[in-house]
Amino acid sequence: MPEKYPLPDYAVSVWVAGDNLMVAFPGTVSEQGHTIKLPASPAGMQTIVRILRDRATARDLRLGHAGTPSQYDLEADQRYAIILGAMAKAKAVDEAAQAEARKELEALGL
């Protein structure tokens, strides 16, 4: 059976608060700890696991480094994913519209 203590220096605290998963990062010698909020969903759990894996291999656990994201970092990543999704949808619509226009032009013999 693995030892439970001491906890590794990259450990975090996680709890559920309503519809949110809260992840508290301990402070360092030079910085205060901080907490981020994720949705209590499979995607939120996947994000926590990714963060924990990043923390296990990180060389620097200060705020903003791999394994210690800020709430802003997470929200920026989410906004970026939404933007990429919207761009992909727009491209698909444009391609469909172009294909339809080509068919119409072909039907006219152009």
Task: Name the residue with tokens 């990180």.
Answer: 58
Domain locations along the chain: 1-69, 70-110
pTM: 0.65
pLDDT at 1: 53
Return d(Cα 19, Cα 95) in angstroms, integer: 39
pLDDT at 21: 93
Region 81-86 average pLDDT: 72
Lowest model confidence (mean pLDDT) among 19-28, 52-61, 71-80, 99-108: 99-108
Spatial neighbors of 27 by CB under 8 A, at least 6 apart, are 33
Confidence of residue 42 (pLDDT cuts 50, 70, 90): confident
pLDDT at 81: 75
* 21's tokens: 């998963």
